[in-house]
């Protein structure tokens, strides 16, 4: 309770003044109106506590007022292929101003007390709000705040935290995490990027390439996984995690990648050519050499949980805009929402978004039992939650397209195609749907054994 009251204050609720509620209709599913957002988000089914809901409303209001008006400009800026990213970095700093980058970071003096010390549920709620208005800006926010900042917060030494976290949380710096490689996507531990220890130099020389890295084109700080050379184990490969600042000699980035969706999130290849990294930049210090697989796998669990907010927010946006559309568009002299086939689609969407949300929130809540950190979150539940939410979102977005057809499925007059394209990323990033199914099945079998 105290935590969320503190968070509400940190979120400058005094700035959150102008959301209003419409009159209740039949006592449930009251649509809420925020700046630029009118949503049928079902607060009753979401089951949030009053303070959690207060937090949620604050981030929805922020998303509508600050992020939504910039979405198209950020898309154009990234499409233009420059490296300045003024609009994108402007939003990044606004997010910092709200305190949202350090949402799960403990409030500690050595990080200028910029962390909000909130549970992963709040991080998921923030992702949901941002994804409602821009899938891409939300994805970049997740890469920065969860993949980069949260990993540094969980594993770094006090000195590393003091050096990197304040700038990242203040929004002066942009963060990324680099795990995937051209030949190592699902099989991420098959990575070829190698870190060779040079004792006389007191550090490592890194060579290799990372691919599809969110925020890569502009990132100032990258959390990088590399295979140890020589391995720390006699029987298998081991890995170490590094924090690499952009200005490190030998580090460079490729051209931003042209993507199917997530147009407001920059992505590119990272190149490491004889990059020298001193021992002080091993994430977690000397004791963490050879333990990168644990850092990577546990980070993926939390990433999957927080990313659930992505497909959820996009799905809610799709549902809201479709509901408005079917009650505006007329064919054969009646609103298309009165056709049985359209009602069936609405019913499926309504069921999908609410069931998916309830499951994702309850997994996040499981992480709050007793402790706010990992564990007791279960690996299989984080994977199952994003698997389920993504499945529901994919089906929902195809339905949305079938409602908007000429206006939105094929012509970008309405955002149906954007929703579909943005949501598809969640079937790919943080492990594919197939890999999540495999992982959940494997964990269930392991429990049985
Ligand atoms: C927009 C975008 C942003 C990204 N951001 C980042 C980032 O910030 N950092 C980062 O490190 N990575 C990032 N990624 C990379 C992402 O995590 C990988 O693309 C993903 O892990 C899948 O790898 P792949 O594309 O090589 O597919 P592959 O591994 O080649 O998979 C091909 C097919 O084989 C299936 N398959 C593979 N293994 C199995 C198995 N064991 N069982 C069943 N089926 C299997 C897959 O499900 C898939 O259908 C990003 C990707 C995209 C598209």
401: domain CATH number is 1.20.140.10
336 plus 424 within the same structural domain: yes
CB 220 within 8 A of CB 246: yes
Verify cis geometry, omega within 30 degrees of 0, for the bond prior to 376. Answer: yes
Q: What was the pLDDT predicted at 368?
A: 72
Question: What are the φ and ψ backbone dihedral angles of 414, each rounded to 5 degrees?
Answer: -125, 160
Q: What was the pLDDT predicted at 336?
A: 95
Determine if ligand 1 sits within 6 Å of the CB of residue 180: yes
Tell me the best of 429, 436, 437, 438 to mutate to test the pocket of ligand 1, counting ligand atoms within 8 Å of each CB and taking the most: 429
pLDDT digits (tens, 9 = 90+) for 165-197: 999 999 999 999 999 999 999 999 999 999 999
Q: Whole domain around residue 214: which residue ranges?
A: 178-295
283 plus 312 within the same structural domain: no
317 plus 290 within the same structural domain: no
Protein residue closest via CA to atom 22 of ligand 1: 185
Residue 302 placed within a domain = no
CA 104 to chain centre: 13
Protein residue closest via CA to atom 43 of ligand 1: 434
Residue 303 placed within a domain = no
53 plus 76 within the same structural domain: yes
Q: Hey, is 270 helix, strand or coil? A: strand
**What's the pTM value of the predicted model, to 2 decimals?**
0.93
Q: What was the pLDDT predicted at 366?
A: 86
Q: What was the pLDDT predicted at 259?
A: 94
Q: What was the pLDDT predicted at 27?
A: 47
Residue spans of the chain under pLDDT 50: 1-10, 12-27, 370-372
221: domain CATH number is 2.40.110.10
203 plus 77 within the same structural domain: no
54 plus 129 within the same structural domain: yes
Q: What was the pLDDT predicted at 369?
A: 64
25: domain CATH number is 1.10.540.10
- CA 229 – CA 196 distance, rounded (Å): 5
Q: How many domains, the chain?
A: 3
Q: What was the pLDDT predicted at 155?
A: 97
Q: What was the pLDDT predicted at 397?
A: 83
Atom of ligand 1 lying closest to residue 432 CA: 47
Determine if ligand 1 sits within 6 Å of the CB of residue 257: no
62 plus 126 within the same structural domain: yes
**Ligand 1 mean position to 383 CA, how many Å?**
14
The contacts of residue 47 (CB under 8 Å, 6+ apart) are 358, 361
pLDDT digits (tens, 9 = 90+) for 13-29: 333 333 233 344 444 55
């Amino acid at each position: 309770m105290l935590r969320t009251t503190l968070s509400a204050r940190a979120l400058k609720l005094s700035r959150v003044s102008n959301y209003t509620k419409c009159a209740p209709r039949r006592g449930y599913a009251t649509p809420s109106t925020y700046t630029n957002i009118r949503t049928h988000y079902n607060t009753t089914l979401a089951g949030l506590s009053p303070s959690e809901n207060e937090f949620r409303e604050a981030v929805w209001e922020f998303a509508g007022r600050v992020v939504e008006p910039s979405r198209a400009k950020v898309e154009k800026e990234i499409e233009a292929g420059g490296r300045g990213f003024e609009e994108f970095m402007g939003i990044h700093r606004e997010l910092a101003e709200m305190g949202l980058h350090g949402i799960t970071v403990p409030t500690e003096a050595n990080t200028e007390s910029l962390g909000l010390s909130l549970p992963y549920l709040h991080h998921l709620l923030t992702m949901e709000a941002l994804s409602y208005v821009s899938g891409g800006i939300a994805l970049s926010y997740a890469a920065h705040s969860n993949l980069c900042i949260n990993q540094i917060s969980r594993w770094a030494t006090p000195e590393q935290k003091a050096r990197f976290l304040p700038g990242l949380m203040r929004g002066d710096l942009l963060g990324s995490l680099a795990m995937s490689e051209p030949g190592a996507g699902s099989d991420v531990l098959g990575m070829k990027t190698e870190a060779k220890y040079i004792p006389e130099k007191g550090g490592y020389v890194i060579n290799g390439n990372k691919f599809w890295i969110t925020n890569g084109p502009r990132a100032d700080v990258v959390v990088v996984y590399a295979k140890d050379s020589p391995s720390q184990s006699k029987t298998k490969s081991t890995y170490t995690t590094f924090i690499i600042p952009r200005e490190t000699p030998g580090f460079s980035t490729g051209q931003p990648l042209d993507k199917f969706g997530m147009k407001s999130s920059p992505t590119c290849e990272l190149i490491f050519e004889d990059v020298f990294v001193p021992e002080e930049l091993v994430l977690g210090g000397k004791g963490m050499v050879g333990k990168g697989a644990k850092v990577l796998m546990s980070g993926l669990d939390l990433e999957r949980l927080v990313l659930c907010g992505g497909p959820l927010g996009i799905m809610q946006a799709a549902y809201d805009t479709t509901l408005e559309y079917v009650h505006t568009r007329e064919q054969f002299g009646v609103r298309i929402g009165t056709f049985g086939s359209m009602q069936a689609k609405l019913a499926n969407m309504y069921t999908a978004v609410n069931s998916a949300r309830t499951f994702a929130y309850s997994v996040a809540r499981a992480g709050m039992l007793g402790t706010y950190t990992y564990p007791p979150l279960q690996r299989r539940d984080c994977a199952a939650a994003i698997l389920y939410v993504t499945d529901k979102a994919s089906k929902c977005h195809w339905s949305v397209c079938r409602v908007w057809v000429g206006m939105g499925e094929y012509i970008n007059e309405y955002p149906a195609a954007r929703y579909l394209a943005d949501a598809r990323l969640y079937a790919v990033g943080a492990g594919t749907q197939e890999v999540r199914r495999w992982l959940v099945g494997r964990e269930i079998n392991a429990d049985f054994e």
